[in-house]
Structure 1
Amino acid sequence: MRKYNAIAMAVITATSLSSLPTLAQQQDQAEADVEEVIQVVGSRLSYRTATDGAAPVDIISAEDLAATGITETAKALQYAVPSFNFPSSSVTDGTDAVRPASLRGLSPDHTLVLVNGKRRHKSALVHLSGTTGRGSSNVDLNAIPISAIKRIEVLRDGAAALYGSDAIAGVINIVLKDNDSGGTANAQIGQTYDGDGEQYKLSASSGFKVGDTGSLTVSGEFHHKNRTNRAGPDPRQQYPELPNGDPDPREETFDRYSFHVGDADYENAALFANYEQEVAAGGTVYAFAGVSDRSSESGAFYRRALQSNTLTEIYPDGFLPILAPDVKDYSAYAGYEWLQGEWTIDVSAGHGVSEFQYNVKNSLNASLGPTATPTSFEAGTLENKETSVTIDAQRFIPFVNNSDLSVATGISYRENSYQIKAGEEASYIDGGYQDRPSGSQGFSGFTPESEIDQSRDNIGVYLEAENQLTTDFLWSAAVRYEDYSDFGDNTSWKVSGRYDITDRFAIRGAVNTGFRAPSVQQLYFTNVSTLFVDRGDGLVPEQSGTFNNLSDVATALDIGRLEPEESQSYSLGVVWNGYDGLAVTLDAYQIAIDDRIILSGDVSPADSPAVAEALSQTNADNARFFVNAVDTTTQGIDLVVSKDYDLSSYGSLKAQLAYGYNDTEIDSVNLPSLLDGLEQVLFDEDERVRMTESVPSSSASLGLTHEMGRWTSNVQFSYFGTYSINYSSGKETYGPNWITDITLSYALSDQFDVTVGAQNLFNEYPDERGEGNQFNGIFKYPLTNSPIGFNGGYVYTEVEYRF
């Protein structure tokens, strides 16, 4: 079986490994893989397990993910790793379908995601609404079904010196199942305490032997979920007054619960395969591929009958536009690995595609009039493609003190392309009917002027060395050079080490630099769409333009080309392997990032004559840009404690405690010279709070798993600290929240299990927004950033068959 090690150039980013089981689950994993040495996140070089190394790593097994009963990969990871954040959102356009996730309180695009050690492509979607990570594009973790996952390795340390761009906050490596026989079939049904959000998930995974030396594992999943709705009633006037000034009698019968605030209707189908085979020449051929196809439906703002963007001939009572994007992900990798003299060589190539097609239902283009407008639209498509080719080589060289120096080197080529395709003409055209607003309501289509098809490429070269100099001292170092076609080059390095003071106590640390290249989405995304903006006296529609740095508007304002973000990171930790299986790690870190890329606030003609002139040839009321503008410093600590207990005739108990704290401060703000004096517009208090306080600064979890005979029970207590959102009336702070999840499983036989469970057992909701920020009582809860969502409790039943 191919190991993820030096062979592993396939395994993940960083320069060292975890020094002890950072979660109790790792002990289970070690027992389950007696014949397989587990290469975990952090080194390309040597056969190591999660019990000796120089950086903090969490290992979450497939069993641990499945035991939560959580149906989404990203959400399950949130409850397993406190430093990982996956907030809920609603009424946020495309973000309702592909939500952002982040590590250590940084941006979603500061975390590198790998599958089987290979870089995973990002979503084509750019988060434009007021969510955490506004202006970023992230990997869609939910496109990878839990049924296909063998384990997830989370490196909480920088690793750009190994894998290049993005690995500033850390690395997530998803290892796919690779069994050559047997499998599982699983079905789950459930709903919220309120009786909505009904969902079911069907999944299966099976391994097949290929010849005498190969394996093929195929995993599939179908997940259907009905929407939830926690909107308050709309008390506003809905209809024009009668000619005599009296209210329309329909006001008395109108269904005031007209908004949709909650999870979207959702349907996702995914299929993944993982193949590996030893060949006659002594090498190993491997390949893996996956496809995911998702549809969802979420609400925009309700259009009242009295508004000019409503045609009462079609919708006499007004209407709720429905955003119904189709999201598709495709990926495939193949490689060959062999021994050439003293060197292990790995050659691989892969291609990934993310396609996000905007569709709008139950809508209209009011400017076309009641007889000409469609009520559903194809509003345009975003497409992101990534192609990678890598050659990696590793060997051991005799070194001082009778030790071996493990050396790895390699070269990679990557091409990224980004395309915006215009929507159908009716989705953006101005038909001129009665001066009504143009474009499909809910989401105005991409115009031909927004169309773009651009690409960039880069070449990376790295060198890494690792050495166990003595039985007590491990060191490693790495350097990587990258050259990009669009902005130039970058060199990153990392040095890390671990010293065992005693057999039970060790210290570890690392110093590294890193970088994140501006994504092709940030480089090339452009659009003018209708957004509802809070101007202090309610939400008003505006034609808001996002202009890329190639546009005439950006050129006129001398925005300048985007440059890479650069980071300097330091970490220091202690490890204690205590008695009777007690394991403790405590790691402190600091990550300073220069020239962070932000999506600016909106500038309008009233702000500056230069802006007025730049926008005069567009149909936009305001403009925003991607710009290198902010320097920040993030500090934090991660604590993990795990222990197994033998309860004799009362079975066994596994306990794990994890705590994460992070704090981000803004060091400086640097904006384009032509926009000098507009800092409070381009990087306003909303953005400051979003960057520094939008995720909980503290998160923790305590998990207890008890096994006795055929019974298995699990209780997890999860803590999410305070987080803040800024509104026109000022900042509001929410939390903290405690969430309790509980499951109870019974093994009817060696192959068949039945589970019942409750997530958010005590029906916790986030704090309500202040009265002045509830938009007439409709938005009771924060629409973005809540780590616990706003659905309340959820109960489910699950059955699993193993074969």
Structure 2
Amino acid sequence: MKRINPITLALASSFLVAPVALAQNADTNDSAEVEEVIQVVGSRLSMRTATDGAAPVDIISGEDLAATGMTDTAKALQYAVPSFNFPSSSITDGSDAVRPASLRGLSPDHTLVLINGKRRHSSALVHLNGTTGRGSSNVDLNAIPMSAIKRIEVLRDGAAALYGSDAIAGVINVVLKDNSEGGSASFQLGQTHKGDGEQWRASASTGFSVGEDGALTVSGELQHKNRTNRAGPDTRQQYPLLENGDPDPREETFDRQSFHIGQAEYENASLFANFDMTLGDGRIYAFGGMSDRKSESGAFYRRAIQSNTLTEIYPDGFLPILAPDVKDYSMYAGYEWYLGEWTLDFSGGYGVSEFQYNVENSLNASLGPDVTPTSFDAGTLTNEESNITFDAQRFVPFVNNSDLSIAFGVSYRDNTYQIEAGEEASYINGGYEDRPAGSQGYTGFRPDAEVNQSRDNVGVYFETENQLTTDFMWGAAVRYEDYSDFGDNTSWKVSGRYDITDRIAVRGAVNTGFRAPSAQQLYFTNISTLAVDVDGETVLQRSGTFNSLSPVTDALNIPDLEPEESDSISAGIVWNGYDGLAITLDYFRINIDDRIILSNQVFPGDSPAVADALSTVSAENARFFINAVDTKTEGLDIVASKTFSLNDFGELKAQLAYGFNNTEIESVNLPPLFDGLESVLFDYDEKIRMTDSTPDHSGSLGFTHSLGNWKTDVRFNYFGTYIIGDYDTGETAEEANDTYGPNWVTDISVKYAFSDDLSLIVGGQNVFSEYPEEQPVESAFDTIFKYPNTNSPIGFNGAYFYSEVEYKF
């Protein structure tokens, strides 16, 4: 029996097929590929086929990711897996550079991300504005170059019993290329139908033989994007009135497309390596990579009429530019060996995400025109994570002449979160004419916001799995975790599958899970200028986000954060049809208690306690992280695929995937001080963001036609309706609903192979230039923000056309 890496395969007893895996029909002659597909996350039993597991897994090959023509890993995954959502956003501060993504309609931090079966660290950024997953941090999938990816496995089932925190919605495992020879290089160039958003990407990957059977694979990518802009005109008054009360003549010549709403300008360089070779009685392995990114996106335009502008420097006002440097480094190494019947694995890894806030084309008005800089270092966020794991697995004889797989392991994780203050000019109040303090666009972190906090945890798990008969398999797992900051948790999982006939099977799983509060949620704090709603009017105010160490949260008796806890069930049917047709249908339900939210702003007028707490800081309002909401999420996933032989007309592969998910709020539990203030602390907009800001329905229908040297891909992608709350005074909550969608997006690409080595691809994404519905115009901002600037699954760039040259060697 082939030995299996217990980490790479050690997710909950589960897996299914996705569009790619289903496309493999019974007539395939690529036995090596089939063997590789069956060894995905979810099962330790090596003699499995792609549809023989107990819970759904999507298997997306690197080739299929590249075929989307997308230049971002997360966006390519969105169009390959309907249950994965990667919405576009603009003017959302740091979220323009590291966008949130979610699985099965849950928060971005409810999905665990692995690389080669090992836990991946999350981004240092906290999403603070109106995006999906507000108040969360997610793993930055775009830090992993697509050229380094062999395949991505998306487990759509809870796996906390094996991996601990974060695996409530599921697990994404990125498997790196591991070829010992050969490689590829490609260059893509494209732009939008509007003539902006020009971008190029150069990527390469190559493998080297090491020793007798070892391999080192190195992959890299360089990428550049120009910005797009879909802002409408700013019709507001820009200049002070003349002494006689007449408008300033410059109002007639002012360029009213002053905002930047669209894709950020973006540069990224990334490099990954994957190494594996036999050493003694086992194998040594290592992998890691780095990513260095800089983006430039606009904030709110500062008009010449406003007090936060100095007309001596910017006579016509100015657009602050947020230009963060985002760096990401990781490395992992381990040794797997065999002791008798046991397969043992010991490994350790380290990852760090660094997010440095830079603000350009700005000023600190309180310093005056002669003193203020126009660019600032506003501070740096750093998240570090270290992991050490030991795993053991073997097979033992069991009843009915079957083998019982048993596995156990122990892990240690240390997490450190740091906030480094910005330069003094980015936050200081210089006192000039009572002007607003701090760098405009993003106020720098003050010294009293600096933190350097760590926490650690130890986890122990035990798992067993058994193919009891040819028709029935079962699995069970339990995990105990002990955290240094809030205590312990025990989670478990039971799964099973029964083959009713050779073609029809039923499967299901029941599990509990948890998510520990992230270090970012525990320790992030800052005071910055945000657009907030005050008495139905959007105004800019200094808004404070305060952590549990702050005297503000202490004064308001905000309780310490506790873990979110979940229980979930899944049940499905698998049909392996005739001539390679396969269809799977899976239902799931996930209940989560004590979900952590970033509260809405509270103001001094909301209560005397809030007024007293804010009197000691420079913030005009406050928000904080709290365990406040219980939710229920239900959904259904359908996947089908078939390959048709067209004889002299080539081969046609058809793939269908559909996902439905719906989240409902079961209860809201606020701290005692805020009883009766639910509409303030967790208002209607926040409820909509948690339940309806992502489409309930999404799907795709793809066709791939191959004939000789030609290959054509056509994909029809469907995104259902979603809601962006926009509650203004005078409206009822129901009247304030702004519903967008549904939308169909069509992607087409044609590939011609000049030889086995050289190919040319010409394609288009969203070729019919589908846009979100325009927002109803009820204020000047609705004219500027022509399309919703957050949570659009199709973005707001319109059509994008590209050409790509690919060379294999």
Structure 2 length as normaliser, TM-score?
Answer: 0.97
Query: How far off its partner does 1:36 sit?
Result: 4.3
Which deviations, in whole Å up to 9, do the C-alpha atoms of 1:437-457 show, x marking residues without a partner? 000000000000100000100
Cα distance in 1 between the residues matched to 2:396 and 2:152: 31
Structure 1 distance, partners of 2:516, 2:337, is 32
Q: Give the alignment of 1:131-146 within 5 angstroms.
A: 131-146=131-146
Match of 1:747 in 2: 753
Contact 2:330–2:352 (Cα < 8 Å) also in 1: yes
The match for 1:180 is 180
| Separation in 1, partners of 2:669, 2:89 | 30
- Residue 575 of structure 2 corresponds to residue 576 of structure 1: yes
TM-fit CA distance, 1:254: 1.1
CA contact (8 A) 2:23 2:643 kept: no
Equivalence for 2:776: 770
> Bigger CA drift: 735-744 or 776-785?
776-785
| Contact map agreement 2:18 2:59 (CA 8 A) in 1 | no
Cα deviation digits, residues 448-494 of structure 1 (max 9, x gap): 01000001000000000000000000000000000000000000000
Between stretches 121-130 and 556-565, larger displacement belongs to 556-565
Contact 2:9–2:40 (Cα < 8 Å) also in 1: yes
3-state DSSP of counterpart to 2:267? strand
Indicate conservation of the 8 Å contact 1:22/1:583, yes or no. no
Aligned to 1:357: 356
Between the aligned partners of 2:239 and 2:355, the Cα distance in structure 1 is: 36
Compute the displacement of 1:44 (Å): 4.7
CA displacement at 1:21 relative to structure 2: 6.9
2:599 equivalent to 1:600: yes
Following TM superposition, by how much is the alpha carbon of 1:48 offset from its aligned partner in structure 2, in angstroms? 3.6
Paired residue for 1:296? 295
SS at match of 2:147: helix
CA contact (8 A) 1:125 1:382 kept: yes
Give per-residue Cα distances to partners, 1:750-798, cap 9 Å, x unaligned.
Answer: 1000010010010100011111166151100001010000000000000
User: Which stretch of structure 1 is more off in the superposition, 29-38 or 359-368?
Assistant: 29-38
1:374-393 to 2 correspondence within 5 Å? 374-393=373-392
- Whole-angstrom distance in 1 between the partners of 2:186 and 2:411: 39
Q: Is the 8 A contact 1:22 1:640 kept in 2?
A: no
Determine the structure 2 residue equivalent to 1:722: 721
Aligned position for 1:543:
542
Letter in structure 2 aligned against 1:746: Y
For 1:755, the aligned partner's letter is I
Paired with 1:773 and 1:355, the residues of 2 have a C-alpha distance of 38
Query: How far apart are the structure 1 equivalents of 2:305 and 2:683?
Result: 33
When structure 1 is superposed on structure 2, of 534-543 and 726-735 the one drifting more is 534-543
Which residue of structure 1 lines up, in the alignment, with residue 12 of structure 2? 14
What SS does structure 2 have at the residue aligned with 1:606? helix
| 1:273 match | 273
Give how far 1:620 is off: 1.1
CA RMSD in angstroms, aligned pairs only: 1.5
Where in structure 2 are the equivalents of 1:250-261 lying within 5 Å? 250-261=250-261
The DSSP-based 3-state class of the residue aligned with 1:389 is strand
- Identify the residue that residue 78 of structure 1 maps to in structure 2: 78
Give the Cα separation in 1 of the matches to 2:541 and 2:511: 44
Q: How does 1:682-701 map to 2 (within 5 A)?
A: 682-701=681-700
Any unmatched runs of 5+ in structure 1? none
CA distance in structure 1 between the aligned counterparts of 2:385 and 2:30, rounded to whole angstroms: 34
Deviates more, 1:297-306 or 1:727-736: 727-736
Residue 230 (structure 1) aligns with: 230
Contact 1:11–1:116 (8 Å) recurs in 2: no
Structure 2 unaligned regions, length at least 5:
729-735
Match of 2:160 in 1: 160
Residue 479 (str. 1) matches residue 478 (str. 2): yes
**Structure 2 equivalent of residue 732 of structure 1:** 738
Shift of residue 120 of structure 1?
Answer: 0.4
Shift of 1:26: 5.2
Maintained 8 Å contact 1:70/1:76 = yes
The corresponding residue for 1:245 is: 245
Distance 1:766 1:782, change over 3 A: same
Letter in 1 for 2:456: D
SS for the counterpart of 1:252 is: helix
Would the aligned equivalents of 2:100 and 2:138 in 1 still touch at CA under 8 Å? yes
CA–CA distance in structure 2, aligned partners of residues 130 and 75 of structure 1: 20
Change (3 A) 1:773 1:590: farther
Give the Cα separation in 2 of the matches to 1:38 and 1:478.
21
CA 762–32 in structure 1, closer or farther in 2 if over 3 Å, else same:
farther
Q: What displacement does 1:17 show?
A: 2.3
| Contact 2:18–2:60 (8 Å) recurs in 1 | no
Match of 1:316, SS state, is coil
2:122 pairs with 1:122: yes
Q: Pairwise mapping of residues 641-660 of structure 1 onto structure 2 (< 5 A)?
A: 641-660=640-659
2-side partners of 1:554 and 1:411: how far apart? 36
SS of the residue corresponding to residue 604 of structure 2 reads coil
Counterpart for residue 733 of structure 2:
none
SS for the counterpart of 2:781 is coil
User: Structure 1 residues 433-442 or 248-257, which shifts more?
Assistant: 248-257
Mark the CA change 1:322 to 1:25 in structure 2 (over 3 Å): closer, same or farther: farther
Listed as ranges, the matches of 1:97-112 within 5 Å are: 97-112=97-112
Q: Give CA-to-partner distance per residue, 1:249-277, whole Å, 9 cap, x none.
A: 11111111111000000000000000000
Indicate the larger mover: 86-95 or 769-778: 769-778
Who is 1:416 aligned against?
Answer: 415
Deviations 1:723-750 (A, max 9, x none): 0011123111000000000000000011
Q: Counterpart in 2 of 1:505? A: 504
Native 8 Å contact 2:694 2:723 kept in 1: yes
For 1:326 and 1:423, the matched residues in 2 are separated by 14
Amino acid aligned to 1:175: V
Change over 3 Å in CA distance of 1:402–1:780 after alignment to 2:
same
How far off is 1:46 after superposition? 4.2
Instruction: Say if 1:676 and 1:798 are closer, same or farther in 2 by CA, change over 3 A.
Output: same
Secondary structure of the residue aligned to 1:643 is strand
Match of 1:788 in 2: 794
Cα offset for 1:124? 0.2
Partner residue of 2:731? none
After TM superposition, give the deviation of residue 635 of structure 1 in Å: 0.5
On the 8 A contact 1:8/1:45 being kept in 2, the answer is no
Where does residue 799 of structure 1 map in the other structure?
805
Corresponding residue for 1:533?
532
Pairwise CA distance, 1:648: 0.4
CA contact (8 A) 1:653 1:706 kept: yes
* SS of equivalent to 2:190: strand
Pairwise mapping of residues 336-355 of structure 1 onto structure 2 (< 5 A)? 336-355=335-354
Counterparts of 2:704 and 2:447, CA distance in 1: 56
Change (3 A) 1:216 1:47: farther
Spell out, residue by residue over 1:70-98, the C-alpha distance to the aligned partner (whole angstroms, 9 max, x if none).
10000000000000000000000000000
Q: How far apart are the structure 1 equivalents of 2:240 and 2:742?
A: 44
- Cα distance between partner residues in 2 of 1:481 and 1:200: 47
| CA distance in 2 between partners of 1:116 and 1:36 (Å) | 14
> Which deviations, in whole Å up to 9, do the C-alpha atoms of 1:103-129 show, x marking residues without a partner?
000000000000000000000000000
Distance of 1:307 and 1:577 partners within structure 2: 66
Q: Are 1:193 and 2:199 matched, yes or no?
A: no
Query: Over residues 50-85 of structure 1, what are the superposed CA-to-partner deviations in whole Å (9 max), with x where a residue is unaligned?
Result: 231111111000110111111000000000000000
Q: Once the 2 structures are TM-superposed, how far is the Cα of residue 243 of structure 1 from its aligned partner? A: 1.4
The letter of the residue matching 2:387 is S
> Shift of the alpha carbon at 1:10?
2.7
Q: What percentage of aligned pairs have identical amino acids?
A: 72
Query: How far 1:25 sits from its partner (Å)?
Result: 4.5
Q: What's 2:169 paired with?
A: 169
CA distance in 2: counterparts of 1:135 and 1:373, whole angstroms? 32
Aligned partners of 1:203 and 1:222 also within 8 Å? yes
Partner-residue secondary structure (3-state), 2:351: strand
The answer to whether the Cα contact below 8 Å between 2:478 and 2:491 also exists between their aligned partners in 1 is yes
Contact 1:235 1:776 in 2 (8 A): no
Displacement of 1:39: 1.4
TM-score (norm 1): 0.98
> In the superposition, relative to structure 1, how do residues 247 and 130 fare at CA in structure 2: closer, same or farther (>3 Å)?
same
Distance 1:411 1:54 in 2: 25
Partner Cα separation in structure 1 for residue 526 and residue 411 of structure 2: 33
